[in-house]
Structure 1
Amino acid sequence: MNDIPQAEGKSLAFTAASTHGLINLSDYAGKWVVLFCNPGEFNAVHRNDWISLIKYAKAFSKKDIQLIGLSTDKNASHLPWLYSNYRNAVSSLPFPIIDDRKKTISQIFDLSSSSGSSRSSNVKLFIISPDQTLVKTLSYASLGTAQMNELIKTLEGLQSSYRAYAHSINNQPTPSNPNCPVVPIVGEYILGNPVNVDPTLLDFVIYAFALIKPDGTFEAYSTRYLRELTDLKVVNPNLKVLMAIGGWGAEGFSDAALTPTSRYNFAREARRWVNEYNLDGIDLDWEYPGSSVAGIISRPQDTENFTLLITALRDVLGPDKWITVAGTGDRSYINNVEIAKIAPLINYFNLMAYDFNAGETGETAGRHQSNLYPSSLSLGNTSVDTQVQNLIAAGMPSSKIIMGLPFYARYGATSTRTFDDIRQNFLNVNGYTVRFDDVAKAPYIVGPTGNFAYSFDNPISIYYKGLYVQENCLGGLFSWQSAMDSANILAQSMSLGVRDIEALRQMLITDYSFTP
Structure 2
Amino acid sequence: MTTDVQTTPSMPRLNEPAPAFDAPTTHGRKTLEDYRGQWLVLFSHPADFTPVCTTEFIAFAKRHADFQALGCELLGLSIDSNFSHIAWERNIKEKFGVEIGFPIIADLSMQVAKAYGMIQPGASDTSAVRATFIIDPNGVLRAMVYYPMSNGRSIDEFVRLVKALQTSDEHGVATPEGWQPGDKVIVPPPATAEQAEARMAEGYECSDWYFCKKAL
- Normalized against structure 1, the TM-score is what? 0.28
Q: 1:70 aligns with which of 74, 77, 84?
A: 77
Q: Distance in 2 between matches of 1:18 and 1:63?
A: 23
Q: 1:8 aligns with which of 10, 13, 23?
A: 13
Asked whether 1:114 is paired with 2:87, we answer no
Contact 1:69 1:96 in 2 (8 A): yes
**What is the Cα deviation at residue 35 of structure 1?**
0.4
Contact 2:77 2:105 in 1 (8 A): yes
**What is the Cα deviation at residue 161 of structure 1?**
2.1
**Shift in alpha-carbon separation, 1:90–1:129, aligned structure 2, 3 A:** same
- Normalized against structure 2, the TM-score is what? 0.62
Identity of aligned residues (%): 29
**What is the Cα deviation at residue 51 of structure 1?**
1.0
Contact 2:24 2:106 in 1 (8 A): yes
**Shift in alpha-carbon separation, 1:122–1:100, aligned structure 2, 3 A:** closer
Q: Distance in 2 between matches of 1:106 and 1:74?
A: 14
Q: Distance in 2 between matches of 1:35 and 1:108?
A: 13
Contact 1:33 1:66 in 2 (8 A): yes
Contact 1:32 1:127 in 2 (8 A): yes
Q: 2:55 aligns with which of 30, 48, 55?
A: 48
Contact 1:127 1:134 in 2 (8 A): yes
SS in 2 for 1:73: coil
**Shift in alpha-carbon separation, 1:108–1:20, aligned structure 2, 3 A:** same
**Shift in alpha-carbon separation, 1:148–1:97, aligned structure 2, 3 A:** same
SS in 1 for 2:42: strand
Q: Distance in 2 between matches of 1:123 and 1:53?
A: 13
Give the root-mean-square deviation of aligned CA atoms.
3.2
**Shift in alpha-carbon separation, 1:109–1:58, aligned structure 2, 3 A:** same
**What is the Cα deviation at residue 107 of structure 1?**
1.4
Contact 2:22 2:30 in 1 (8 A): yes
Q: Distance in 1 between matches of 2:31 and 2:114?
A: 16
Q: 1:20 aligns with which of 20, 27, 38?
A: 27
SS in 2 for 1:18: coil
**What is the Cα deviation at residue 116 of structure 1?**
3.6
**What is the Cα deviation at residue 142 of structure 1?**
0.4
Contact 1:76 1:101 in 2 (8 A): no
**What is the Cα deviation at residue 72 of structure 1?**
1.7
Asked whether 1:39 is paired with 2:46, we answer yes
Contact 1:34 1:68 in 2 (8 A): yes
SS in 2 for 1:30: coil
Q: 2:88 aligns with which of 66, 81, 86?
A: 81
Contact 1:72 1:103 in 2 (8 A): yes
Asked whether 1:93 is paired with 2:100, we answer yes
- Structure 2, unaligned runs of 5 or more: 1-9, 173-216
Aligned position for 2:190: none
**Shift in alpha-carbon separation, 1:44–1:115, aligned structure 2, 3 A:** farther
**Shift in alpha-carbon separation, 1:90–1:155, aligned structure 2, 3 A:** same
Letter in structure 1 aligned against 2:84: S
Summarize deviations over 1:365-389 as a string: whole Å, max 9, x none.
xxxxxxxxxxxxxxxxxxxxxxxxx
Aligned length: 157
Q: Distance in 2 between matches of 1:42 and 1:115?
A: 22
Structure scoring higher RCO (CA < 8 A, sep ≥ 6) equals 2
The structure whose Rg is larger is 1
Q: Distance in 2 between matches of 1:112 and 1:90?
A: 31
**What is the Cα deviation at residue 29 of structure 1?**
0.5
- Structure 1, unaligned runs of 5 or more: 164-177, 180-516
SS in 2 for 1:151: helix
